[in-house]
Amino acid sequence: MTATAADRSVLIAGVGLHPFGRFPQTVEELARVAAADALADAGVGYGDVELTIVANVGEGMAKAQRLAARLGATGHPVFSVESACASSAAALLAARDAIESGRAGVVLCLGVEKAPRGFIAGAGFEPWQEASGVGVTPIYFALQAQELLAATGGTVQDLAAVSVKNHGNGALNPNAMYRSPVTAEQVLQSKMVCPPLNLLMLCTPNEGAAAVVLMSAEQVRRRGVTWPVAVRAVTLATRSPGDWFVPAPSRLSEVRSSPTLTAAAAAYQEAGLGPGDLDLVECQDTDAASELIAYADLGLCAPGDEVKLLRGGDTQIGGRIPVNPSGGLLSKGEPLGASGLGQVHELVMQLRGRAGPRQVRGARTGLAQVMGAGHVSAVTILAAA
């Protein structure tokens, strides 16, 4: 029987997570824990999965097959996608399309990472950039922060306030790496990395895994999935002429755009929604300024009003549009291949009303955004089904 277009609308049937942090377990074990959690949440076994897409940055050849090997040998297609910090959003995009096309009815997206400590290396820099000291990712975040502060009249106190907000939320998240609230004074007194960014304004590359089981509407109905969440949009944009991000050594002076702007516009169109319809946002707070930049790029405020939105308390839990109620990458850390699916895990918990003390009251629609090296940004919009 051929499924209709409506039957092929895509839903999230289950989510799973291995906490983010530093762990003695192998990367395969982190992956297994998250996948088993998601499969149990969806009420299916690995034998029901028709396609597995693995998101990972740091592992080598045949990583998808190796990372999924502990789940079983079922013969179904297993492959990996890699798009730096947006890897797991790329997996979600491919999974959504596989279901919409009718290729698969049940798809597992599995993001996992064991990132080395310290600055992220191998972000696409040329050897000359690294040797001469400009192939350093926080340089880009710091220069963007300087430009943002100059354009908005913001101060380092505002950057500290983003960190305070997200660490406060992370203290309520048992899966976060850092679970202690911090004060603005602690943020500003933490080690300076690249001015104006202190250590507590930057996220930590770390370890963890997140998994999502996606299903067609037909599969959800047939299997009686009790708590599905609708995938309203998944978009990904890469490098327009006006963008500038890691690892480009130069940019065009006059044109200003962002892959997040592009991906967000496409996502809102795909979902038939606008920023005003959102109840919460999880965004790529690689650093405190990146969160503020995302406010305008995602349409939560007009360009120039980013600091005003923050100072007004709008992006706190209980505010008009809470941003990073999970604690964001600033408190969770960033396992590169898993971070985007970690955001989806948070959105699903929020839309189910099961986010505990960090619950956004009445959350019905949420947006997740990740951005990575190579000027790639992805936006996902989910809604309670």
Partner 1 sequence: MTAAWVAAELIPAADRDVPPGAPIRLAAARCSACGRCSFPATGTCTWCGTPGSDPVLLAEGTAVAATAVLHRTPGAVVAVPYVVALARFGRAGLDVLGRVPGAAGPAAVPAGTPLRVVAESLPDGRMHYAFALREELTHGSS
Footprint on this chain of partner 1 (rule: CB under 8 A): 118-119, 121, 126-128, 130-136, 138-139, 142-143, 146-147, 150, 192-196, 241, 244, 249-254
Amino acid (1-letter code) at residue 41:
D
Q: Choose between 125 and 268: whose C-beta lies nearer to partner 1.
A: 125
Q: Choose between 70 and 251: whose C-beta lies nearer to partner 1.
A: 251
Contacts of residue 75, defined as CB under 8 A and 6 or more positions apart, other chains included, come to none
Query: Which of the 8 DSSP states describes residue 322?
Result: -
Number of residues written out for the chain = 385
Asked if 109 and 68 count as a contact pair (C-beta separation under 8 A), the reply is: no
Minimal distance, residue 349 CB to partner 1, in Å:
36
- Write the DSSP assignment of 81-137 as a string of letters: E-BTBTHHHHHHHHHHHHHHTTS-SEEEEEEEEEPPSSSPP-SS--HHHHHTT---H
Q: Among 202, 162, 199, 172, which residue's Cα sits nearest to residue 323?
A: 162
Q: Choose between 169 and 258: whose C-beta lies nearer to partner 1.
A: 258
Q: Choose between 142 and 351: whose C-beta lies nearer to partner 1.
A: 142
In which element (H, E) is residue 66 found? helix 63-68
- From CA 79, how far away is CA 97, in angstroms rounded? 15
Q: Choose between 14 and 138: whose C-beta lies nearer to partner 1.
A: 138
Q: Choose between 16 and 374: whose C-beta lies nearer to partner 1.
A: 374
Asked if 381 and 295 count as a contact pair (C-beta separation under 8 A), the reply is: no
Minimal distance, residue 248 CB to partner 1, in Å:
8
Q: Choose between 135 and 259: whose C-beta lies nearer to partner 1.
A: 135
Q: Among 327, 338, 268, which residue's Cα sits nearest to residue 297?
A: 268
207-216 and 106-114 strand pairing: antiparallel
Instruction: State CA 363 to chain mean position distance.
Output: 18
